[in-house]
Amino acid sequence: MDENHKPVELAKGVYWLGVIDWNLRDFHGFATPGGGTYNSYLIVDDKIALIDTVKAQFAGELIKSIKTLIDPSKIDYVIENHVEMDHSSSLPAIMRIAPQARVFATKHGKAGICNYYKAVGCDEWDFEVVETGSELSLGNRTLMFIETIMLHWPDSMHTYLKEDRILFSNDAFGQHIATSHRFNDKVGDVMDDAATYYANILMPFGSQVLAYVDKVKELGIEIDMIAPSHGIIWRQNPEQIINAYVRWASGETVPKVLVIYDTMWGSTERMAKEILHGVMSKDVDVKLLNLRKNDWSMIIKEILEAPVIAVGSPTVNNGMFFPVGGFLTYLKGLRPKGKKAVAFGSFGWGGGAVKAVEKEMESAGFEIIEPGLQVKFRPDEDELESCRKLGIRIADAAK
């Protein structure tokens, strides 16, 4: 069998048949140096259900994989856990082959699908709107749906296969990595990848994550396997990723400082390095992160577990240097909670960047722990000493 289209059995009659996107390097701005996957699942029982599809460019690969198991025209149900294009844009191709299939989605899911696919005949599709607790019998097996509003879109839901205790969690618990293996017990530690994914996709929705975990407990759902729609499947100790989500959503941090900056002629960088040295002198973990030499999605992952950050920018046209402004716009949207910050930077003929950074950080929800530090032109020895002392104070704040 063609290895590219070889399904992987999760349980008897339950298959992964997604697509490994080895060349994915940018997922709508999220850096993916290790590629990614779009996971689709097929359950073959008295009735046949397809759970989620893949990016439209890979529709042909998905259909080839389905054909290795069944005739795709026999699909009875398509479960659309989430409308975003990476999971739904092959739906039109599936519905052309299996026009009788019923599509299951939440109320918002149906509305989103009908908006996206109006031009390709979604008015003709047979929809069933589901909510938390709705069930679908496949014969010997039963699917239960769990709405996960704002995890991470209003339409999102999870699908739970009761008899096999498999949770199809769509975006939640995913990671952007491409690997020839499908299960977590076959690969090394992927928790860093899961953290990067959480920080960049789910960080704004911590309270919804905690409410979701409570809901799963309330529903009495027992989970033997978590099968997300990106990355590896959590087969061994699936509680580990749920526990990690609870830690991240609760805002747990470790003593760590990040010095995040950009520089034009080196003055702000000199300040950044002296702040770094001040933190290091207190034996607190610290990273120096230049905004044009590091992927922003990796910096966001570092912020997830850092209680304090220092953000530096030179002044350009009375405001922030534009890479700093762009990064803070991204950070603000992710709404990190319970974190502290301080600003620093250099200017030539007129300042403005430090105030602008402080304003932006405040509106992003950071507590500004002291007025920002700024220097004119090039920092002298006294000013560098002030930077070192600032580093010592923020190290103390991180403990």
Residue 245 vs 366, nearer CB to ligand FEO: 245
Candidates 21, 171, 302, 360; binder of ligand FEO (CB under 6 A) is 171
Q: Is 158 in the site for ligand FEO (CB under 6 A)?
A: no
Interactions with ligand FEO, residue window 193-232 (CB under 6 A): 229-230
Residue 37 vs 179, nearer CB to ligand FEO: 37
Minimum CB–partner distance for residue 36 and ligand FEO (Å): 9
Nearest residue to ligand FEO on Cβ basis: 84
Is 277 noted as a catalytic residue in this protein? no
Question: 84, 155, 274, 302: which is the annotated catalytic residue?
Answer: 84
19 Rama class: left (phi>0) / alpha (psi -120 to 50) / beta: beta
291 Rama class: left (phi>0) / alpha (psi -120 to 50) / beta: alpha
Is 86 noted as a catalytic residue in this protein? yes
Is 84 noted as a catalytic residue in this protein? yes
Q: Is 339 in the site for ligand FEO (CB under 6 A)?
A: no
Question: 15, 45, 80, 82: which is the annotated catalytic residue?
Answer: 82
Minimum CB–partner distance for residue 145 and ligand FEO (Å): 17
DSSP string, 353-393: HHHHHHHHHHHTT-EE-S--EEEESS--HHHHHHHHHHHHH
CB atoms within 10 A of CB 179: 19
Compute how many residues bind ligand FEO; rule: CB under 6 A. Answer: 8
Site string for ligand FEO, 54-83 (x = CB under 6 A): ----------------------------x-
Question: 41, 117, 160, 197: which is the annotated catalytic residue?
Answer: 197
Is 2 noted as a catalytic residue in this protein? no
Is 197 noted as a catalytic residue in this protein? yes
Minimum CB–partner distance for residue 279 and ligand FEO (Å): 36
Q: What are 93's strand-pairing partners?
A: none
Could you tell me whether strands 256-261 and 285-290 are parallel, antiparallel, or unpaired per DSSP bridges? parallel
Is 230 noted as a catalytic residue in this protein? yes
Residue 87 vs 273, nearer CB to ligand FEO: 87
Residue 110 vs 152, nearer CB to ligand FEO: 152
Q: Is 87 in the site for ligand FEO (CB under 6 A)?
A: yes
Nearest residue to 7 (alpha-carbon basis) of 55, 45, 57, 43: 43
Rg over CA atoms, the chain: 24
Strands (DSSP E) along 80-224, which ranges?
Answer: 102-105, 126-129, 135-137, 142-147, 157-161, 166-170
3-class secondary structure, 138:
coil
DSSP string, 42-73: EEESSSEEEE----GGGHHHHHHHHHTTS-GG
d(CA 306, CA 398) in angstroms, rounded, equals 8
Residue 112 vs 312, nearer CB to ligand FEO: 112
Question: 21, 38, 152, 160: which is the annotated catalytic residue?
Answer: 152
Q: Is 383 in the site for ligand FEO (CB under 6 A)?
A: no
Q: Is 21 in the site for ligand FEO (CB under 6 A)?
A: no
Which residue type occupies 225? M
Work out the angle at residue 395's Cα, subtended by the Cα atoms of residues 393 and 398, and round it to the nearest 5 degrees.
115
Contact criterion met (CB below 8 Å) for 387 and 346? no
Interactions with ligand FEO, residue window 227-256 (CB under 6 A): 229-230
Residue 117 vs 366, nearer CB to ligand FEO: 117
Whether cis (ω within 30° of 0) applies to the bond prior to 181 is no
Minimum CB–partner distance for residue 19 and ligand FEO (Å): 13
Is 28 noted as a catalytic residue in this protein? yes
d(CA 222, CA 165) in angstroms, rounded, equals 6
Question: 21, 61, 155, 171: which is the annotated catalytic residue?
Answer: 171
Contact criterion met (CB below 8 Å) for 80 and 110? no
Is 126 noted as a catalytic residue in this protein? no
Minimum CB–partner distance for residue 143 and ligand FEO (Å): 20
Q: Site residues (CB under 6 A) for ligand FEO?
A: 82, 84, 86-87, 152, 171, 229-230
**Mind telling me the catalytic residues?**
28, 82, 84, 86, 152, 171, 197, 230
